């Protein structure tokens, strides 16, 4: 077995505006698009004994993250599948619009919402001549992008050749709208704090210390600091804050309950709920579990839930072994 990695780079830049203005006002619209595509990295499982053609999985990060956040987990998953799966797997670690190296891509125009984020994925598939992905794995914001991708595929938005993923993994992301009373406001506080910081940032250490002084946890502050990149003698963000805020607005306002109640045939949508996550309320979990109980047949469209023990929202770092066990042990069902 070997694990291979390839890298492509492309992106876009814009200045930040007021968080409240962005969250309350509608996003501008345009139909102009570029032929350039999202940046991504590839992690591949391979073996000399495979008899089936390679299968593809898209891995989608959360808000203010990037594909590189999922390198370690993807390598572990690829290694596991190289032993247990009858086919090779290509894991495509995508940088969503306004994030990572995709901030340098020209033509990823507004509105910066889930619909266009899913369209970006379709254009990435088409531009590279890939097969439509067999699996899509999305964490947090990426989980809702994954749901939108499946919905758009099923609706025919990407053309007749597009087919919905056989399996969708939604990692600690609620499927419905996120109302004010369902949020503790931490994400909004982080975004407003980032908008108030000087640009460029003096140093990563300065940022972490400043965030801690403002009351944020050191682990969160250090993660925010990991999204800085060197620019001369200072640091700049590896994301477009203005566009990311618009994506967060779309994440909060969009619901996929109708998709879960009527999923495409021959597909499975699997939710991983982190045991210690603050994203879930009783009404949401009860509704999701009811749908899962009603949708147990893949031929008619299946919905399932899995609880990740001893983990908060950051599932791939809080309990990576537990997450790998859940995903890998259920991953192979699509090839039976």
Can you spell out the DSSP letters for 11-72?
B-------HHHHHHSPPP------S----EEEEEEE-TT--EEEEEEEEE--TT--GGGGHH
Angstrom distance (rounded) from CA 239 to CA 286: 35
User: Which among 240, 233, 292, 260 is positioned nearest to 15, based on CA atoms?
Assistant: 240
pLDDT mean values, one per 10 residues, the chain (336 residues): 41 41 42 64 74 83 95 95 84 97 93 98 95 96 98 96 96 92 79 93 94 94 90 87 97 98 97 95 96 96 98 95 96 57
Domains recognised in the chain with CATH numbers: 2-177+254-335 (3.40.50.1820), 182-244 (no CATH)
Beta partners for 89?
Answer: 45, 55
What is the structure's pLDDT at 49? 54
What is the structure's pLDDT at 13? 37
* Percent of the chain as helix, strand, coil, to the nearest 5: 45, 20, 35
Whether the CB-CB separation of 63 and 187 falls below 8 Å is answered with yes
For CA atoms 35, 14, 58, 288, give the dihedral sign. negative
Query: Model's pTM, two decimal places?
Result: 0.87
What is the structure's pLDDT at 234? 81
What is the structure's pLDDT at 175? 98
Q: How far is CA 127 from CA 11, 36, 123, 262, in A?
A: 16, 8, 6, 30
What is the structure's pLDDT at 10? 37
Whether the CB-CB separation of 274 and 172 falls below 8 Å is answered with yes
Contacts of 268 (CB under 8 A, 6+ apart): 166, 167, 168, 298, 301, 302, 303, 304, 333, 334
H or E stretch including 320?
Answer: helix 320-331
User: Which among 129, 123, 133, 139 is positioned nearest to 171, based on CA atoms?
Assistant: 139
């Amino acid at each position: 077995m070997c694990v291979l990695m390839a890298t492509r780079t492309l992106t876009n830049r814009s200045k930040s505006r007021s968080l409240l203005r962005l969250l309350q006002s509608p996003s501008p619209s345009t139909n102009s698009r570029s032929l350039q595509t999202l940046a991504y990295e590839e992690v591949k499982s391979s073996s000399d004994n495979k008899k089936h053609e390679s299968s593809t999985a898209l891995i989608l990060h959360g808000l203010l993250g990037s594909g590189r956040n999922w390198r370690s987990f993807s390598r572990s998953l690829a290694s596991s599948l190289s032993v247990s799966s009858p086919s090779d797997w290509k894991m495509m670690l995508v940088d969503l619009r306004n994030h990572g190296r995709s901030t340098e891509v020209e033509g990823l125009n507004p509105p910066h919402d889930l619909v266009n984020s899913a369209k970006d994925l379709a254009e990435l598939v088409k531009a590279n001549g890939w097969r439509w992905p067999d699996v899509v794995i999305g964490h947090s914001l990426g989980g809702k992008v994954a749901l939108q991708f499946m919905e758009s595929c099923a609706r025919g938005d990407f053309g007749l050749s597009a087919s919905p993923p056989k399996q969708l993994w939604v990692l600690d992301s609620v499927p419905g709208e996120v109302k004010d009373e369902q949020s503790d406001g931490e994400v909004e506080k982080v975004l407003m704090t980032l908008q108030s910081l000087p640009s460029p940032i003096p140093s990563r250490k300065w940022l972490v210390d400043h965030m801690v002084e403002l009351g944020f946890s050191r682990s969160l502050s250090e993660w925010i600091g990991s999204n800085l990149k060197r620019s001369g003698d200072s640091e700049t963000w590896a994301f477009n804050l203005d566009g990311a805020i618009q994506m967060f607005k779309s994440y909060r306002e969009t619901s996929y309950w109708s998709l879960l109640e009527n999923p495409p045939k021959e597909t499975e949508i699997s939710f991983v709920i982190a045991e210690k996550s603050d994203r879930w309320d009783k009404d949401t979990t009860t509704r999701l579990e009811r749908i899962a109980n009603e949708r147990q047949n893949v031929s008619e469209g299946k919905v399932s839930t899995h609880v990740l023990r001893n983990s908060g929202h950051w599932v791939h770092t809080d309990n990576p072994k537990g997450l790998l066990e859940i995903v890998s042990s259920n991953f192979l069902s699509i090839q039976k």
